Amino acid sequence: MQTIAHWLDGKAFGGTSARTAPVTNPATGAVTGQVALANQADAQAVIASAAAAFAEWRDTSLAHRTQIMFRFRELLNDRKEELAALITAEHGKVHADAMGEVSRGLEVVEFACGVPHLLKGGYTENASTKVDIFSVRQPLGPVAVISPFNFPAMVPMWFFPVAIAAGNTVVLKPSEKDPSSSLWLAELWAEAGLPAGVFNVLQGDKDAVDELLDNPAIKAVSFVGSTPIARYVYQRGTSNGKRVQALGGAKNHMVVLPDADLDLAADAAVNAGFGSAGERCMAISVVLAVDPVGDELVGKITQRAATIKTGDGTRSVDMGPLVTREHRDRVARYIEAGETAGATVALDGRSIEADGAAAGFWLGPTILDHVEPEMSVYTDEIFGPVLSVVRVGTYDDALALINANPYGNGTAIFTNDGGAARRFHYEVEVGMVGINVPIPVPMAYYSFGGWKNSLFGDSHAHGTDAVHFFTRGKAVTTRWLDPSHGGLELGFPQNK
């Protein structure tokens, strides 16, 4: 059986650990490979590769770094179908969704191709008499990217293109559930001409993560995952003096006002709630139906969701399986808990007949109506194809629920009232807002990140935030030899 290894010094590395974990095709239930789980020695070897490569990569000209980034972009664009197929085979999302994931990651690579402009410093002549000051931004050193299972290609590409373009070296720790994309990307970097050691892959679980958080060679950590783990990564990493951006969980609300186009809103709720089987940190998991639209809106959403075809992502279907059997069963328990607590099951996906193998991890679209804020289906991040509908009386009630929620990743409002939309994006305490857009994921040149328990750290992903996260500023004050400045003067300079 295939063993999915680490990557260091520009080649696959089996490591010394005997521990492995199974990699499964969620559409069939079949184990397709084993992924190596690093011990401390393996992790240290991969980190050492990144550390050894840093000095030479930092000294590589911006022009040459950019040329390699462009070559990587062209190779990725030409072969994105290959990467999408790997994602579908290990994650389960349908091929079209996997292609979308690669395309959104590609946007960040394209953004990184323009990094020379973003690394420019400033220069001030004669700040004091014959004294000039200039500023530069310099790379940090080896940095770590710890990415989740739901976007095995896109989320790493939120970070490593900018980190590499800025002159850092990278250790990527992918999810052990779908690790093959990481090695595919490593091989593509090598083909693009990236020097050995600049991009490395460390497979593993908590042991690998802890070494990345503790090892002094790692200068910064970018993480995406659940809120409890994000908090752990942030606290442990920062306690060791590292920069950390840890993006956590979400409970994304979509407000539908009475003046909204309900057909548009229903389409959006279904697309944003059930795409990728709900395994998205930007999925809409709660619809706040403002009176009196609840009954009509739920009817339209249910009618549309019932037409979704669930099955093997390599076939002509709309939604694939969940990533593991354990996760599928966990989501099903939430549905049962919601029903027991008094929610109405408007559409039940637990007994779906999927277009796929009987052993696949199937759970169809599920809609729970009349959900109350104290129910676990509302309070918890379910991360599956479950859409909860909460009935509220007014806009103010909807806003109060969102702002009281401990998560603040993404939100949306559907309305034809420009004043209400402006008020919403001004008042809502959430990092990414959509107005008649259900999944408000910004383009690569804007920041991606939530508020409250959806982000630990000061820096978002994407855009200029990413450039600043992966570099540090230095100000240099200069005065060339000038006899008029000779002599002793112990007073603090008065800048004359």
Catalytic residues: 281
Here the tokens at position 173 are: 């720790």
The one-letter amino acid code at 37 reads L
* 90, 178 Cβ separation under 8 angstroms: yes
Here the tokens at position 399 are: 């806003």
Q: Which residues, including other chains, have CB under 8 Å from residue 401's CB and lie 6 or more apart?
A: 253, 288, 373, 390, 392
Q: Which residues, including other chains, have CB under 8 Å from residue 425's CB and lie 6 or more apart?
A: 413, 433, 435
* 382, 356 Cβ separation under 8 angstroms: no
- Measured in Å, how far apart are the chain's first and last C-alpha atoms? 74
* 461, 247 Cβ separation under 8 angstroms: yes
Q: Residue 433 pairs with which residues in a beta bridge? A: 411
Q: How far apart are CA 343 and CA 372, in angstroms?
A: 8
Q: How far apart are CA 320 and CA 120, in angstroms?
A: 45
Q: Residue 387 pairs with which residues in a beta bridge? A: 367
Q: Which residue in 477, 474, 453, 457 sits closest to 465, CA to CA?
A: 457
Q: Which residue in 400, 206, 367 sits closest to 290, CA to CA?
A: 400
* 310, 465 Cβ separation under 8 angstroms: no
Q: Which residues, including other chains, have CB under 8 Å from residue 206's CB and lie 6 or more apart?
A: none
Q: Residue 253 pairs with which residues in a beta bridge? A: 286, 411
Half-sphere exposure of 9 (CA within 13 A, CB side): 8
Tell me whether strands 169-173 and 199-201 are parallel, antiparallel or unpaired. Answer: parallel
* 222, 172 Cβ separation under 8 angstroms: no
* 450, 457 Cβ separation under 8 angstroms: no
